[in-house]
Chain A
Amino acid sequence: MAAIQITNIEKRYKSLRALDGVSLSIEEGEFFGLLGPNGAGKTTLISIIAGLNRADAGTVTVHGHDVVSDYRKARMNLGVVPQELVFDPFFTVRETLRMQSGYFGIKNNDAWIDEVMHNLDLTNKADTNMRALSGGMKRRVLVAQALVHKPPVIVLDEPTAGVDVELRQTLWKFIARLNREGHTVVLTTHYLEEAEALCNRIAMLKSGKVVALDSTAALIRRISGSQLVVKLGAGALPEGLKPLVTHPEELQVNGNGGTSGGKYTLRVNSYPEVEPILRALREAGAEIGDMQLQQADLEDVFIQIMEGEK
C-alpha cells in the first residue's frame, strides 16, 4: 500500500489553477522530495494531504485512508511540519508537546517527548515559554509537535528555510534516522543540495503540474552526464577524443588540437570512461596540467526542467 496516494488532485483559487491534475504515489519508507519554484503548488498539495485545505477534485489517501471521508485515521498516520513559524504564546515547550500528544489521543507520552526533545536539542528549553524562544528553537518545537504521535508518514514543508547550519544538521540526522527506522518522509525545500543528498525520489512541480518524477539518481543521469575538464600542460588533444568535446569552440580556440596547452571539456557518462581518456592522452604524449571531474547536480537538472517547461 502506498504511504500517500494522490489521484488527479485539482485546486483553483478563482482564476488561478494552483493544482492541475496532480497524481503521485509515495511508497512506504521513501524519502521523497517535492520540488518546485515558489507558487508551484507544493504547499497547497501538502495542505490538501494534511486536511488543512480541500481539493476541488481528486482524492488523497494516507496509508489507504481518505483524508476527507476517513480523516481521523489519515491524520493519525501523518505528522506535518508547517512552513509558517507558528506557536502558541500561552504555553511552555513541554506543555505544547503534551497537549499536541493529547490531541492525537495519547496520554502519558513523556518518555517519547523527552526522546524527541533530546534528539532536537530542546531538552534545556523544556520549561521555557514559547514566546521566549529564538526562531530556530521554535522551528525545532514545530518539528517535535509533528512527531509526538510517532507518525509513519512525516511531511516537512520547507523545514530549513532561514535555519542555521547546526539545526539543519541536527534535524536531518534525526529525520534520516526516523526514515531508516521505516518512517516515510516527504520534504519540500528550496535547498536542492539538501534534496539531492537526502531524497531517494523526487517530483518536480511547476504551475500546479508534475513536470518530472523519478529517482534522484535517474533524474541527474537523465538530464546531463558528468564532464571531465582537462588542461593540457604539453601536447595536443588526440583525434580520438575530439568527438567527446562538449564545447566545439574549445577546438577552434585551441587550433584544432594542433597547439599544446589547451583546455577541453569532455563528456563522460560514468567513472570507468575516465581511464580510457587518460590512457589516450598518455599514448599521444600529452601532459595533463590540471584536471577536474564536474558532476551534474540536481540544480542543473532543476533549472533545465523548469526552463524546458516554459
Chain B
Amino acid sequence: MIGFQTLLYKEVLRFWKVAMQTITAPIMTAMLYLLIFGHVLEDRVQVYPGVSYTAFLIPGLVMMSVLQNAFANSSSSLIQSKITGNLVFILLPPLSHWEMFGAYVVAAVVRGLAVGGGVFVITAWFAHLSFTAPWWIVIFSLLGAAILGTMGLIAGIWAEKFDQLASFQNFLIMPATFLSGVFYSIHSLPPFWKAVSHFNPFFYMIDGFRYGFFGQSDVDPLNSFAVVLVFFVVLAALAMQMLRSGYKMRH
C-alpha cells in the first residue's frame, strides 16, 4: 500500500507543481467556450424544457474538462517518463501491477475532478443549476475520469513518442468528447448521426452526468451507467494485461 500511496502522491505532486498549466489553463479554456457558445446560442437553442442553453452547456463543459484532463494526466506523465528515461524509477521497485494501475488512474481522477470542479465553480455563476440526482453526478464524474485515466495509461504505454500520443489525443479523444453531446442534445441530430452517437461511450458519460443536474437526459441513466461501467471494466482489464506483460515498458 505504501508503494501505491507514494506513486499516487508523486503523480499528484507532478501536476500540482505546474498547476498553472494543468489546472488553471483548462479552466480558462472552458470559460471561453461558455462565454462564446453561451452568448451566441442562449436565445436560439433550448434542449430541455425549462433549462436555458447556458445551464445545459455547463455540465457538458464540466464533464468534458474532467475527461480531457484525466486523459492528459496519465498519458503525459507516462510518455514524459518514458522519453526522459526516468520511468526506470517506477519499473525497478517492487510495485505491483495493481499499485501502478491504481496510482496512475486515481491521480488522473484527482486532476480531472480538480479541473472539473474549478470549471463548475466559475461557470455556475452564469446560469441557474439544479441538482436533481447528485449521486449520478458523483458516479458519472468518477467513472468518466477513471475511464479516461485508464485510456491515458493505455495510450501512454503504447506511444513511443509525443507525436503518437498527440494523434491518439487529437484523432480519438477530442472528436469523441466533442461529438458526445457536450454542446447539443443528440435528439437534435439527423437519425443517422443520432444512431452513431449511441456507439460513442463518451456520450453516455456526459448524458448520465447531465441527468444528475436536470433529471432529464437522452438515455435512461441506469442504461448509461451500465454502458460506462462495462467500458471501464474492459479498458481496465486491457491496461492491467499491458502492465502484467510488461508491454513496451519492459522490452
Binds A, one of B9-17, B111-119, B122-130, B208-216: B9-17
Contact B86 A86 (CB under 8 A): yes
A101 to B94, CA, bound (A): 11
Number of interface residues of A (CB under 8 A): 34
Q: Does A100 contact B (CB under 8 A)?
A: yes
- What residue of chain B has the Cβ atom nearest to residue A72's Cβ? B94
Q: Which of A51, A72, A73, A78 contacts B91 (CB 8 A)?
A: A51
Report B206-251 residues with CB < 8 Å from chain A CB: 246, 250-251
State how many angstroms separate the Cβ of B151 from the closest Cβ of chain A.
23
Contact B251 A90 (CB under 8 A): no
Q: A53-B250, A54-B246 are in contact. Are A103 and B86 (CB under 8 A)?
A: no
Contact A50 B92 (CB under 8 A): yes
Which chain B residues border A74 with CB–CB below 8 Å? Answer: 94
Contact A52 B91 (CB under 8 A): yes
Q: Which of B2, B9, B84 contacts A105 (CB 8 A)?
A: B2
Q: Does B29 contact A (CB under 8 A)?
A: no
Q: Does A274 contact B (CB under 8 A)?
A: no
Q: Which of A72, A103, A107 contacts B89 (CB 8 A)?
A: A103
Report A120-175 residues with CB < 8 Å from chain B CB: 145-146, 149
Q: A52-B92, A75-B94, A103-B93 are in contact. Are A90 and B14 (CB under 8 A)?
A: yes
Which chain A residues border B81 with CB–CB below 8 Å? Answer: 88
Q: Does A104 contact B (CB under 8 A)?
A: yes
Q: Does A41 contact B (CB under 8 A)?
A: no
Q: Which of A73, A87, A102 contacts B9 (CB 8 A)?
A: A102
State how many angstroms separate the Cβ of A146 from the closest Cβ of chain B.
8
A50 to B249, CA, bound (A): 13
Contact A87 B86 (CB under 8 A): yes
Considering residues A73, A101, A105, which has the most beta carbons from chain B within 10 angstroms of its beta carbon?
A: A105
State how many angstroms separate the Cβ of A10 from the closest Cβ of chain B.
15
Which chain A residues border B6 with CB–CB below 8 Å? Answer: 99, 101-103
Q: A54-B246, A87-B86 are in contact. Are A103 and B13 (CB under 8 A)?
A: no
Contact A82 B250 (CB under 8 A): no
A53 to B91, CA, bound (A): 10
Kindly supply a per-residue 1/0 record for chain A positions 53-82, scoring 1 wherever the CB is within 8 Å of any chain B CB and 0 otherwise.
110000000000000000111111010101
Q: What range describes how many residues of B lie at the interface?
A: 20 to 34
Q: Which of B14, B96, B250, B251 contacts A72 (CB 8 A)?
A: B96
Q: Does B85 contact A (CB under 8 A)?
A: yes
Q: Does B70 contact A (CB under 8 A)?
A: no
A95 to B12, CA, bound (A): 14
Q: A53-B251, A89-B84, A90-B14 are in contact. Are A71 and B92 (CB under 8 A)?
A: no
- What residue of chain B has the Cβ atom nearest to residue A47's Cβ? B250
Which chain A residues border B41 with CB–CB below 8 Å? Answer: none
Q: Does A84 contact B (CB under 8 A)?
A: yes
Contact B14 A84 (CB under 8 A): no
Which chain B residues border A88 with CB–CB below 8 Å? Answer: 81, 84, 86, 89
- What residue of chain B has the Cβ atom nearest to residue A96's Cβ? B89
A283 to B81, CA, bound (A): 73
A91 to B94, CA, bound (A): 21
Considering residues B5, B6, B81, B94, which has the most beta carbons from chain A within 10 angstroms of its beta carbon?
A: B94
Contact A75 B93 (CB under 8 A): yes
Sorted nearest first, the 7 A-B pairs with minimum C-beta distance are A102-B6, A103-B93, A86-B85, A72-B94, A75-B94, A105-B2, A88-B86
Residue numbers of A with Cβ under 8 A of B are 50-54, 71-76, 78, 80, 82, 84, 86-91, 95, 99-107, 145-146, 149
Residue numbers of B with Cβ under 8 A of A are 2-3, 5-7, 9-10, 13-14, 17-18, 81, 84-86, 88-96, 246, 250-251
Can you report 25 A-B residue pairs in the complex whose CB atoms are below 8 A from each other? A51-B92, A51-B250, A52-B92, A72-B96, A75-B92, A75-B93, A78-B92, A82-B88, A84-B85, A84-B88, A86-B86, A88-B81, A88-B84, A89-B84, A91-B10, A91-B13, A95-B13, A99-B9, A99-B10, A99-B89, A100-B93, A103-B3, A103-B89, A103-B94, A104-B93
